[in-house]
Amino acid sequence: MSASATTSSDNKVLSTAVDFFRQTGAFWARPARIIRNYNVKENLRADILAGATVGVLMLPQAIAYALIAELPPITGLYAAIVASVVGALWGSSSHLNSGPSNAASLLVLTTLLPLAVPGTPEYLLLAGMMAFIVGLMRLLMGLLRLGYLVNFVADSVIIGFTFGAAILIGVNQVKHLLRVTVTNTPNFFSTLSDTFAAVPQTHLPSLAVGFGAIVLSVLFKKTIKKIPSALLVMALAGFASYWFDLPNRGVIVLGNLPASLPSFVVLPVFDREVWGQLFTGSLAVAAIGLAEAVAIARSISAQSGEKIDSNQEFVGQGLASMATGFLSGYACSGSFTRSALNYSSGAKTGLTNIFSAAFVLMAMLLFAPLTSYLPRAALAGVIIVTAYYMIDREAMGEIWRTTAGDAWIMLSTFLATLVFPLQFAVLAGIVVSFVRYIGKTSQPEVSSVTPSTDFHDLRENPDKPECPQLGIVTIKGSLYFGSTQHVEEAIRLQRDLHPEQKNLLLWMQQVNLVDISGLHLLEAIVRLYRSDGGDVYMEGVRNAVMDKMRASGFVEMLGEDHFLERETAIPMLFNNVLSPIQCVYDCPHKVWLECQSLPKAHTETKLPPLKIVKPSMILPEYLPAELWRQIQENDALTVVDVRERNEFNLGHIPNAKLLTSPEILADPAQLSDEDEIVVVCNHGRRSRQIQLHLQDLGFDNVSSLKGGLEAWKTTELPLDSEVAIP
């Protein structure tokens, strides 16, 4: 590598490090920017109204989601309050609402059930610790700029997991709907079997309450749009419970919620055993939660026009989950329903979520006694309906109809969610997504292309003849360690199919990434073609890829002049690289636009290998006026026209001798090496190639006409059209 390349590389590393620390500081300073830029007059009223609207929905959801995780309702409320505030201050989206969610709650349940009994202090402590680990993972991913990783979690994984999670949530709530005793277990089939076995012990009043909640939830969801159906059903269920004295009839109710602020919890953050127990489940919650949150933020930003920073969102989600762990909550994520409501309610900034949290806190402190009559069966009915609406049937149908690979990922994730421990099922789906991505990127499309009928672009057309001298290959994908073998095999196959193609043009417009393995592959391809007397050229290299090529020394190895522009690539190669003799006599096709004016003449004479006259070569040449003067003054000058007879008869330099290129190549002894020879053709390409060949044979005094007969005509010098001199 040259010294300048090394210096440039060092400067780039330093610049990258400075940018890294600057952006890290910007992550932490996010709240200051939000508050500094807040316009009270324009935003405050809209944010308060939207915050109150979202708070109305958040209140019942927080309670319901906590119950999914077999946690006290107050834990869900604390998580909603804390996550909303912290997520708003450190997140990227103005509309994403953070807090308890269906998926996170179910993952918390399945992770904690084997470790502790729900309702015990140990269960609550592990829930808080899990929130801390989840948040720390997310925070580190954001600080390390790993926001792009969510792109590798396929939509089919999320949809398949959500479908399975909806079924799991529904089955887990049936025991509360029937008010039967079923042992808590993370195993779906055990839960299902035990629930069926307990059906004879169903408590009919509880079933009636729960079934009524289901019917009303569906009815209200379809008819009443402005007030959350869950809130209405819970209010009616609580009123009915109080009016008909349901607790004394055996219907289980929630009881009083503590009217207090979240308290600080000392978590065992340094306990390695606890880390080992919670790590896998926490990783699943972190991954699914981030994928959900960023997907929600981006879907809303597509309507709002807001720019989303995935890394900043990772930091916000991480800090939100960590804070809920220390403040009596549990692992949280983004909520699509609350976020969509936030946007549709006219929220202007992220402070809307703080107002939502304030509303929930106020309701909790002022109206906590009212929750004491809420029937558990009614909440189970609300949760079952919520789980049903989690299933995105339209998206499932679209995946199943369109993409076989995504369909199998969706189906396998769904089945794994039911069969295996939930955290492993989630991670397995993500791993399958990675494997599929690696499989696709490791086999980028490598295809040979030829000009379209109008010569405006290049296309794949296996039925169209290729140029026997130049192959054009397009690479559609990244050149990295996983794809190099596939790309090399494809290019070698192209070379084996067309061994006469000594030159290769790589169409690099769709290569957006190259690593050291990819650069080594390109070096090997260059050496391969050059060892056979040909060369490699490139067109459309992107700036980021070119930077890597310069830093590694590849540009120097290939040559600056081998990187071509789209508009001039083919003309440059045609005029300076391809053999005009071969074009005329060996190729029956007219592949390029530049070929259209070429004469085509078949010859039985086998042409010897000819060198290509490269632009850097300096060969003796005459300008038209100089040659005309020499013709008049120098009797020892022999002008040899190497074109075909029909070309010659249309016009030639006076006294020129016609010797077609095959005739000279077959018998150069027809010329005397004692005379000065000037080789002439139409444009100067054939003549320069014959000139170089004669020089190699020992002809010391050989020149050519610069620009050929076309240049001669331009200067209006005399032309003859007589029959050639034999």
Looking at residue 264, its pLDDT comes to 93
Judge whether 554 lies within some domain: yes
Let me know: does 320 contact 332? Beta carbons within 8 Å: yes
Q: Which residues of 554-563 are buried (b: 16+ CB within 10 A; e: fewer)?
A: bbeebeeebb
Among all chains, which residue has been given the structure tokens 């050639």?
A: 724
CATH classification at residue 560: 3.30.750.24
Residues 194 and 163 in one domain: yes
Whether 81 and 377 have beta carbons less than 8 Å apart is answered as: no
Domain assignment of residue 276, given as a range: 21-437
Question: What are 265's two structure tokens?
Answer: 């919890």
Question: What pLDDT does residue 9 have?
Answer: 52
Cα separation, 120 vs 102, whole angstroms? 22
Q: How confident is the model at residue 724, as a pLDDT? A: 43
Q: How many angstroms separate the CA atoms of 373 and 242, rounded?
A: 6
Judge if 136 and 168 occupy the same domain.
Answer: yes
Of 378, 411, 437, the residue at which a domain comes to its end is 437
Mean pLDDT of successive 10-residue stretches along the chain, which has 726 residues:
51 58 80 91 90 81 89 94 95 92 87 92 96 96 82 76 82 90 81 91 94 92 78 85 90 80 92 93 87 77 81 93 96 84 83 93 79 84 83 87 84 86 72 78 87 77 83 91 91 90 92 92 94 91 93 93 88 84 80 77 74 81 93 88 89 91 88 89 90 90 93 91 53
pTM, two decimals, is 0.62
Which of 382, 407, 437 is where one domain is finished?
Answer: 437
Write down the catalytic residue from 332, 583, 595, 681.
681
Q: Which two tokens stand for residue 536?
A: 């490699």
- Same domain, yes or no: 404 and 494: no
Q: Are residues 195 and 344 in the same domain?
A: yes
Residues composing the chain = 726
Residue 1: per-residue pLDDT: 47
- Residue where a domain terminates, one of 578, 604, 639: 578
d(CA 522, CA 446): 14
- 332 carries an active-site annotation: no
- Indicate which CATH number applies to the domain containing 669: 3.40.250.10
Decide if 252 is inside a domain.
yes
Specify the number of domains making up the chain.
3
- DSSP code of residue 471: E
